[in-house]
Amino acid sequence: MIERHEQLEKVARIFNVPLDKEDWLLKSIRTLKNEDNLLELGQINSLFTFIDRNLSNVNNNCWKLIKELSSADDFIIFLRKIDIKNLDDHSDERLIQEDTISLLIQVKQFLFPLMDKETIADFLGALQDVIKKNSTLGEKIALCNNSNMALQKMYNNIYNTSNYSKVIKEKIKNAVTNGTYTFICDQKVDKCLVSLNYPSKDNIIYNLNEILDLRERALIIAKLKASGNNKIDDDAEMLKNVMNEFVAQVDIAQEISNVVSVLIQMGHFGYRKFEKQLHETEKMKEYLKFLKDELEKW
């Protein structure tokens, strides 16, 4: 019980809940930790009645979340100062996966109502409401806390490399509007390889790994733009749509590559020396349907 009270005190301070010497929580801690152990039975009964009156609605799930929060103080402090809208597309060299970003957004949204409550009672009431809405919040906090240093590094990198973020977005926009996917048979491994390029002064050609890296970043940007604000302006909505279209294009390109690889490995005569260039999402979808029909016929 002492441990739980101390965890609650720590969490209250993390969330800036005012505490003073006369607060029931601090009183309970002082009494429970009475070093002289001179409490009579009646006093003990009074103490536990007092504690029960203040904590009667706090169930085991609530205590579990309090425990998780108490060990995530550095992460919570970091969470307080970040603005979800500013979490762009930098994934710290892929240390932060898209699922972790999604968890960070969810945790921020669920914990926001707990900030700066006037009393412990108000804080506990808000905490119970949060648990009702998301019973697995403690596990999500634990996952984010495990990635705390990488998340903080990612956030700091965003502010220090804003030009980098703009470059990534431009690459993805160019890929969607002007990009061409090239599919070619590699006879050495009997497999279809895919690459992407678009008109530019550098004429860069992206291989599959680089395409997938851009896809991951596009997906993160789309998720963050969708959840950063309840009201998304036209530019943000357009950016989110572009990112989602790029993700769709890459998924179709991968599927085309897989189906052609199967046709090559099955010995289909039309794909022994194969090269195909595609752009625009709808044309890619049409060609994928054609390939699937070919596969069924063969």
pLDDT tens digits along 287-296: 999 999 988 8
Task: Please tell me the predicted confidence (pLDDT) of residue 53.
Answer: 74
For the stretch 178-190, what's the b/e string if a residue is b when 16 or more beta carbons lie within 10 angstroms of its beta carbon? ebebbbbbeeeee
CB neighbour list of residue 77: distance below 8 Å, 6 or more residues apart: 14
Give 287's contacts (C-beta < 8 A, 6+ positions apart).
256, 276, 278
pLDDT band at residue 95 under the 50/70/90 scheme: very low
* pLDDT surpassing 80 at residue 236: no
Tokens 């999500």: give the residue: 140
State the pLDDT at residue 247.
93
Cα(12)–Cα(152) distance, rounded to whole angstroms? 23
Q: How many residues does the chain have?
A: 298
Give the model confidence (pLDDT) of 107-163 as tens digits: 887 888 788 788 888 888 888 888 888 888 888 888 888 878 877 776 665 545 455
149: phi > 0 → left, psi -120 to 50 → alpha, else beta; which?
alpha
The pLDDT assigned to 231 comes to 46
Tell me if 123 sits within 8 A of 17, measured CB to CB.
Answer: yes
Neighbours of 116 (CB within 10 A): 11
What's the CA gap between 285 and 245, in Å, rounded? 12
Backbone phi and psi for residue 276, each to the nearest 5 degrees, phi listed first: -145, 135
- CA dist 116 to 15, 56, 133, 229, 290, Å? 6, 22, 20, 21, 59
Residue 132 and residue 110 in contact, taking contact as beta carbons nearer than 8 Å: no
Strand, coil or helix: 184: strand
Tell me the three state secondary structure of residue 274. Answer: coil
Phi/psi at 195 (5° precision): -140, 165
